[in-house]
Amino acid sequence: MNANPTLGVADDDVDETTFVARGVATAVAPDTGLTDAQTDLLEAITHAVAGVSIDFRALEPVGPQEFAEVLRSRRLDDRQRIVHQMVLGELMLRPIPVVVAHRVAMYAEALGVNDDFVRVARRYAQGAFGLAWLDLQHKGFLDHVREASGQRPSHPFDPAQVDPDLAARWTAFADLPVGTLGRGVWELYIGRGFGIPGTEGGAPVYLAQHDFVHVLADYGTNLKGELEVFGLISRADPDPKGFAWLATLIGLFETGYISSAGFFDRDVRERHVRAPGMQLRLADAIRRGKVVCDCYGADLFEVDYHALADRPVEEVRTLLRMPPKSSGAIEEGSVGAFDLEGMSEAQRRIAAQRHGDAT
């Protein structure tokens, strides 16, 4: 285990990061030891976020009480995010062993973290997938958005509503100059045949917010791109409950714990997080989200993108303090929002058809 010298990581930070990794590894390891999928993802996240390379399989175990005692001076939200790292490690297991779910709950309790996602993982371990999804919706989403004002639906997965005024606002993006945020999102929708918010069959207005992030973060719209987008969004949220987005996408596309979220349906024909290079891409998305959280400090679903639609994309990125992708993520296949490789097969067919019509 060593620090990344290019990031100037201090020895004390290396020691603390290593200690946290010991607790996470001890909490989420099955009786047979950490799986390859767990190891690859946890190591990638640690390196991307903390700049430290750690061999998670070589770590000495640490019990929950000792772990909590060393970290007792940490802020509650910091301890909560450590617990979320444990839950993320759990979610890479199918099935989640009951002993792992119980152990993570012990660490959370020792850390003084009363976290709903720990209960969600325990329900997964018990096979109560439906109850787990209800918990995830109510505690991960509804409680998080209930107090917000504005015209958002009370539930992020509510069906889209026909709204001519909203549709007109989105259609007006077509008249903005090329290179602006609004024009980019319009091209994203038209090029893939997405339904415009406010129209029949259009995207729900709340969830359409994440499509602005596709353009700003420059991520594709296939399932791997969605994992990157929601990895960034979940960590960019100053409220740790933003983790619900990533937990939902993992459940939909990696383990199959969730059958439908109203905006995506379960698809586990391939293991997206376990695909070559994907752990590094997801870890880099989480790193970028952390920078946005630390420097901008607002839920990306709360940003008024319509007020920023006429600004150049790069200007809005600077406003949100969104850093670029790492070269490593790009080398591992993280493509841009308008690259064919970042589209699903169906989206590529629509894009090809529209390109043919244009010529």
The whole-number mean pLDDT for each consecutive block of 10 residues of the chain, a chain of 359 residues, reads: 42 90 98 96 96 96 98 95 94 90 95 84 60 49 46 56 94 98 97 92 87 97 91 94 80 58 50 83 97 96 96 98 97 96 90 69
Say whether both 108 and 200 belong to one domain. no
Domain-embedded: residue 102: yes
Which of 75, 107, 127 marks a domain boundary? 127
Evaluate whether residue 136 is within a structural domain.
no
The answer to whether residue 151 sits within a structural domain is: no
pLDDT value at residue 184: 98
* CB neighbour class for 167 (10 Å; exposed up to 12, middle 13-18, buried from 19): middle
Domain for residue 22, yes or no?
yes
C-beta separation of 203 from 186 below 8 A: no
**204 with 345, same domain?**
yes
Residue that is written with structure tokens 């695909």 in the block: 275
Same domain, 232 and 112: no
In this structure, the answer to whether residues 210 and 358 fall within a common structural domain is yes
Range of the domain at 67: 1-127
- Alpha helices by DSSP H, the chain: 11-28, 36-50, 64-70, 76-91, 98-110, 116-126, 129-135, 143-145, 164-171, 181-192, 209-217, 223-236, 243-250, 278-295, 305-308, 313-320, 327-331, 345-358
Shared domain check, 103 and 179: no
Q: Flag whether 176 is in a domain.
A: yes
Residue 272 and residue 206 share a domain: yes
Work out how many domains the chain is built from and give that number: 2
The DSSP code sequence of 140-171 is IIIHHHTT--SS--SSTTPPP---HHHHHHHH
What DSSP character marks residue 53? E
- Any domain includes 150: no
Domain check: are 183 and 322 in the same one?
yes
pLDDT value of position 123: 66
181 and 304 part of one domain = yes
Residue 152: count of CB within 10 angstroms of its CB: 16
How far apart are the C-alpha atoms of 94 and 89, rounded to whole Å?
11
Query: How distant, in Å, are the alpha carbons of 27, 96, 97, 179 from that of 31?
Result: 11, 12, 9, 52
Residue 148 lies in a domain: no
Residues 111 and 163 in one domain: no
Contact 188, 239 (CB under 8 A): no
Q: How far is CA 182 from the centre of its chain?
A: 23
Last residue of a domain, one of 106, 127, 148: 127
- Verify that 172 and 243 share a domain, yes or no: yes
Q: Are residues 194 and 283 in the same domain?
A: yes
pLDDT value of position 76: 95
Domain co-membership, 84 together with 184? no
Q: Of the candidates 73, 107, 127, which is a domain's last residue?
A: 127
- Domain contains 26: yes
| pLDDT score for 236 | 96
pLDDT of amino acid 9: 47
